[in-house]
Chains A and B, each alone.
Chain A
């Protein structure tokens, strides 16, 4: 570890109604990976946005390489050598990969006003191959998956050759392979003396990647220590300010053999190949597999968001004609999408409105008036239960921290109270405490006789929660395991079932590098 490169002390930041940072401090050395952890809404992103010139601090000092600096805007941060990957994707969907990466500092031609598009593409090509990313620089970002978009963000941040690199939950939507690649890059940068701030809720990642960890709580600094000197449990108790026991919730017995829903031979282009499965009443059915295995496509097909080429869906024994999400809702199916910004939230509306958005019918009083008292009560229950950190029910959702936005979506679908719930990566970006709260709620739901399909890339979560686990690989179901049979090894084996193809693919990505 090298010298101290960033020293933040006494940082204050207040938003209307929220004291986001109170006398907060942070120290970063050159050549270290410094993890920053804390509950949703603790102020991690805000602190880093102050450092990156996105927010102006109300008070406090920032020393950069020993000198006091003022960072009024993102450009100033870039010029100092500070680069940030934001928690939310910040890309221009209509522009190409290359155009996104070089936005704001495009290589120019001799006439300074003219862009050098060739150079932009060539340099992007170089950068992408350094990252072992198999992408055409000329592809429009709108056409990429969320994971690929995240990789574009990472490539962009790296292209600055920054001395300080801030990563705000970069792995939230990445596959195992991509995470491995990212960690390799991070280690490489650290060896070159780059100081890296790494924000995450996946505490199990920390020993693999971090040198030191700083814990924040309620906008305050709690503690910094070398990662080797604290345990996971100590970190968690510093985060929440009390000890919580992460007792693995028992998977409740599922007494029922009634079939809630059955999918038969679903096919759609190359993404779904002959997918059939049964969802029983009162069970949690886990969907495991690598990213891109087709799990989200199954969910979207059942929810009527994509049309099927062929196949049948039976709900409670009857053939269901689901052509649109509206039909799905009519069959009491809910879908929590993995892409919260695009499909999940009305960002400009308040917390209360978002929570009751999918279930207004239930709150209608005489002549179609919305019963405001009941919506408020319901929203309040959800805010308390999920510990959504918000100054009031009337706060606009766009002002909540990333994890708290995710909680609002979960709250919305729990309020909708449908018989079949499809949860796609429900705990992405959510802190440990709230996670166990969501698990508890899911268990309660199935005990009431509802059925849940849970898609998750986090194996521990799938193993902990599911009665049965369906594993997918390349659009096919490659196996089904009961909770008793399921082990991480068994799942991974099924998830990479067609060994030769997987082998070929890893070869080709390596070959392109």
Chain B
């Protein structure tokens, strides 16, 4: 009996809640530090800028969270995002399809990429690292082929840009001009959280990451669920692509490499374990914000961009290290 109470105390300290708390505290600390260091940091416009900068990376990271909890990895989210953006451009500008159709088409294009990676991983047992590395190149190449190396602009459909950059919130509450893209991020996060914690898909995501063989022996069709999880990750990449295209008012086929690493970094900073079985959406969102606050704050302090990248790397390692320390206690 007594030993059990010790165990509970320990587990409280080790719990996911603790990690989220720490990540959140880190975010607050960054906020306070930058606010003190520069009067330009804590300004409405700058905060909106941070939110907007987080939107795309945040959406990508949501999908990656699922994959990493299964103890997999997806290296293709950045280029799949670009592929989806290009497809959206193709649909809306080149083919003249209605905007909603174009958007759904773009998102589904991302989902298809994820489904294909998932099929290679689950059915043909190709390691996730390799399968998604392949998808990284394939989607990057296809973006260039389809766009014929040229950006596709949405100049005929100004409403498309408004979908991301306009502000419904500002229209309702004057002064609170937060771009829709940010709302999309939060809506996507809420949906992702619902899926992860309340649905069968979420349950099997954790189960597969915790012990894949045991999950299989319990009669769960692990291959099918894995495909679904990678497809879901692809859908989020697709959504990221649409947001990106709307924000830039164009699909830029050469953009996108490197985004996958930012997404993975956000997930890891948010306390999701690369060895699988644990992770939260809230953590990922906080992780994504930590990254953009950092970049934004350093830029305001006129730290050169090269050094911003170095600092980001340091933060990733620091975050994982504190997580390891917490587990050892």
Contacts and interface: CB of A to CB of B under 8 A. Distances in A.
A94 B210 contact: yes
B199 to A, nearest CB: 5
Contacts of B257: none
Interface in A134-186: 140, 143
Nearest to A141: B210
B203 A90 contact: no
B219 A91 contact: no
Contact of B218 (A74, A93, A113): A74
A74 B278 contact: no
B218 A104 contact: yes
B198 A269 contact: no
Contacts of A95: 203, 206-207, 210
Contact of A93 (B198, B210, B217): B210
Nearest to A117: B198
Contacts of B156: none
A78 interface: yes
Given A269-B6, A270-B3, A93 B203 contact: no
B200 A115 contact: yes
A271 B3 contact: yes
Contacts of A269: 3, 6
B2 interface: yes
Which applies to chain A's interface (DSSP): helix, strand, loop or mixed? Answer: loop
A270 B214 CA distance: 33
B217 A106 contact: no
A75 interface: yes
Interface in A18-61: 54
Nearest to B202: A115
A110 interface: no
A444 B151 CA distance: 80
Contacts, number: 77
Contacts of B216: 74
A54 B214 CA distance: 11
A55 B196 CA distance: 32
Contacts of B211: 90-93
Interface string A73-87: 111011000000010
A104 B218 CA distance: 6
A342 to B, nearest CB: 12
A143 B211 CA distance: 15
A167 B202 CA distance: 30
Contacts of B199: 113-115
B220 to A, nearest CB: 4
B213 interface: yes
Contact of B201 (A86, A113, A505): A113
A271 B221 CA distance: 42
B17 to A, nearest CB: 13
A115 B199 CA distance: 5
Interface string B1-30: 111001110010000000000000000000
B220 A143 contact: no
A114 B218 CA distance: 19
Contacts of B2: 270
Contacts of B3: 269-271, 292
Contacts of B6: 269-270
Contacts of B1: 505
Nearest to B276: A94
A208 interface: no
A114 B202 CA distance: 10
Contacts of A90: 211, 213-214, 217-218
B193 interface: no
Contacts of A106: 200, 203
Nearest to B211: A92
Nearest to A153: B214
A92 B214 contact: yes
Given A108-B200, A114-B198, A92 B219 contact: no
Nearest to A75: B219
A94 B198 contact: no
Given A113-B201, A143-B11, A269-B6, A93 B277 contact: yes
Nearest to A501: B1
Nearest to A73: B219
Contacts of A77: 219
Contact of A75 (B200, B203, B221, B277): B221
A289 B278 CA distance: 36
A92 B200 contact: no
Given A92-B277, A115-B203, 8 more contacts: A74-B219, A91-B214, A95-B207, A99-B207, A105-B219, A117-B198, A270-B2, A270-B3
21 contacts: A74-B216, A74-B217, A74-B218, A77-B219, A86-B217, A90-B211, A90-B214, A91-B211, A92-B215, A95-B207, A103-B207, A103-B215, A103-B220, A104-B218, A104-B220, A106-B203, A113-B199, A114-B200, A269-B6, A271-B3, A292-B3
Interface of B: 1-3, 6-8, 11, 198-203, 206-207, 209-211, 213-221, 277-278
